Chains A and B, each alone.
Chain A
Amino acid sequence: MSDKRAQHKSKYTLDRGIPGAFEGETITRRRLMTGTANAAGAVAVAAFALPALGFALGPIFETQPHSWQDIGPVDAFNPNNYVPVVVTITPGVSEIGKTTAYVRQKNPAIDTDRPDRDTPYIAISTRCAHVGCPVRWVDAAERFVCPCHGGVYDLLGRRVSGPPVRPLDRFPTRVRAGRVQLYTARFSVNSQLRRFSPRDPGEPLDGIGQYLYPSRPSARKP
């Protein structure tokens, strides 16, 4: 009994008593053919599936081109109220690539956050940080109000009430030759107004949030 099992376990086909076995052969012809057929099938499927998948997934790894855009003279903006400006953030798709930003001059009394000290102008994106509806600056209440699910933000773009998970995104600004310029790539901020690479709406940046919603190759910090 034990003798038979030892024979069966041998790696040589000859020992296993398979008809037509060769001396020193360890794999049957049938097993070789089965393996070859499976491998050939896998190669054939991969040959069309992988390029197609790469083609579809390509945009995830491509960084969008961005540029500085002129948004008006330095005296068009004041430190206490927002002025809407329209900028093109995605070139080549006419109207669809545009968005609105609310811009005001930096107010040293309220913009005390360290990164903001180097920014001459504060440019707030109108994309709600909940799921991306277009927010509106309501002057009388000094609030950004979202029309969809009840998001409300204060003068600095920080959440006042409703479901938004972080403050409104911002655009970098600079002054060149008496003109204000805006960089077309957003950056996101957490509740302490610390800067992060741009995230999609609905992705919190406080605590564990920045690791659960990682930065993407397609949108790096400007």
Chain B
Amino acid sequence: MPRLPTPKLPAALQGPPPRPGEENGNVAPADAAKEAGITVVDWVDERTSLSGAARWLMFRKIPKGTNWYYTLGSATLFAFLSQAVTGVFLAMYYRPDAGGGAYESIRHITDQVFLGQFVRGMHLWGASVMVVLVFLHMARTFLFGAYKYPRELNWVIGVVLLILTLVMALTGYLLPFDQRAYWATVVANNITATGPLIGPYLGDFLRAGPEFGATTLSRFYSIHMLVVPGLIAALIGAHLYLVTKLGTTAPPWQKVETRPELNEAEV
């Protein structure tokens, strides 16, 4: 018995036509999540216009010939981030008390805290790695002539960052407060004080008095974990801004193939 064809539903009762990827009208969960993600990103971008900055930062072109030597800068940045993170966790257990609390708290971190020795070791050896990377990065910049026009200012910022890194290394090794730390700090402080005219006052400022006293350690702690890291983070921001704005250099021996008709004509 032949069946009668089903009459079509009126347009008002029909749902929207299926979109590609959602057969039978069911949305796949992955697609739904993707859709939601795009919606959120769009929402943020509509209010901040950050996508332009992200594109400027991430999809800029790097010149032809860029090689592995160009990873030294980002490796230094990564070492700094590692130091920042491990440092934050060490600060949770450390007590800057010259009366014996500092030494005991380091002993506590090393011997009793779960993964304490591991995190302290990462911070300790991370410092050495960061110093090495800073010097390698600087050597690369020097050898490739990357400090020349138009990147002079970025070199100057880099030198300040080198000094600050060495200040971090120095102030950092007072904090374990053992014999080596104590005497290294005394010596470093006295070296600072040998600067003519202002040296003696600078020495007093760092020690908080004429002798190593009750607040010398907390002064170094404050410099080590607040003052200098803040400066380093700010200057890294400036350094990266200039790198992105000016572009990374090409290796100096990279051949430039210009079309001859573009060459400056001799007049």
Residues in A lying within 8 Å of B, measured CB to CB = 56-57, 59-60, 62, 64, 89-90, 92-97, 131-134, 148, 198-203, 212-214, 216, 218-219
Contact = CB atoms under 8 A, between A and B. Distances in A.
A92 B214 contact: yes
Nearest to B209: A59
A199 B200 contact: yes
Contacts of A219: 210
Contact of A201 (B182, B190, B201, B208): B190
B210 A218 contact: yes
A216 B190 contact: no
Interface residues of B, number: 29
A96 B197 contact: no
B203 interface: yes
A134 B100 CA distance: 21
Nearest to B215: A59
Contacts, number: 86
Contacts of B190: 131-132, 200-202
B212 A213 contact: no
Contacts of B194: 131, 200-203, 213
Contacts of A131: 187, 190-191, 194
Contacts of B208: 59
B71 to A, nearest CB: 39
Contact of A96 (B187, B191, B204, B212): B212
B43 interface: no
A219 B213 CA distance: 14
A17 to B, nearest CB: 42
B35 interface: no
Nearest to B191: A131
A90 B98 CA distance: 12
Given A57-B205, A198-B210, A132 B187 contact: yes
B193 interface: yes
B186 interface: yes
8 contacts: A57-B205, A60-B205, A200-B194, A200-B199, A203-B200, A213-B194, A218-B204, A219-B210
B201 A60 contact: yes
Contacts of A93: 98-99, 213-214
B89 to A, nearest CB: 27
B52 interface: no
Contacts of B193: 200-203
Interface in B124-183: 182-183
Nearest to A58: B208
